[in-house]
A and B are shown apart, each in its own frame.
Chain A
Amino acid sequence: GESVGLHLPTLSVQEGDNSIINCAYSNSASDYFIWYKQESGKGPQFIIDIRSNMDKRQGQRVTVLLNKTVKHLSLQIAATQPGDSAVYFCAEPKAAGNKLTFGGGTRVLVKP
């Protein structure tokens, strides 16, 4: 379900290193997953999505990996930059309609 009451875990990354953000999902029937990036004071922005018939999808500097066996989703950011500092949320559809369930979020801090 939605993790709205928890403080965000934080990932500190050195500029130029790769970042890996993890997300566990609960619904084994979920067939679509999305990653969002939310910068401070702004609305979340779509980064990348993946459908359950794939286990990997690449974008510009980002890769999403899906492991359906263990219900695990990850977002990899290559050569992390200061502009990547934000909170990252994974999301999956709820059982009916197009309501999305959002994960609790991970804060990424990029150190210069």
Chain B
Amino acid sequence: SQTIHQWPATLVQPVGSPLSLECTVEGTSNPNLYWYRQAAGRGLQLLFYSVGIGQISSEVPQNLSASRPQDRQFILSSKKLLLSDSGFYLCAGSPQGRNYGYTFGSGTRLTIV
């Protein structure tokens, strides 16, 4: 089975500061990986997904970027955070192929001040 590790659990950052959130995967080789953002009381918005090392697709234009330097590592970054970047960030993984559910990490609550 697959386990998604995400850290930190909470983060408070000033406007204009950089960001790096890391996600690592255990239990599956060559997984699909995803970054989601969730505003309070809202649904899940897909930000980025990756089908392999160095392969990143962006779903929505924004102030964030993602990278996948290793098979089981997925990083969400920003050079200069905006107030609108506040939210709950979730990393998820799934096996390659169709019709597999995702396994989610425990999330990072990001507050921009």
Contacts and interface: CB of A to CB of B under 8 A. Distances in A.
Contacts, number: 76
Contacts of B39: 4
A89 B46 CA distance: 14
A3 B42 CA distance: 8
B98 A98 contact: yes
Interface of B: 4, 6, 32, 34, 38-39, 41-46, 49, 51, 90, 92, 94-107, 109
10 contacts: A8-B43, A31-B99, A36-B104, A43-B4, A43-B6, A49-B101, A98-B100, A99-B49, A105-B42, A105-B44
Leading 3 A-B pairs by shortest Cβ distance: A43-B104, A32-B99, A4-B45
Interface of A: 2-8, 31-32, 34, 36, 41-46, 49, 51, 89, 91, 93, 97-100, 102-105
Given A8-B43, A45-B104, A97-B32, 8 more contacts: A4-B45, A41-B107, A43-B6, A43-B105, A43-B107, A99-B46, A99-B49, A105-B43
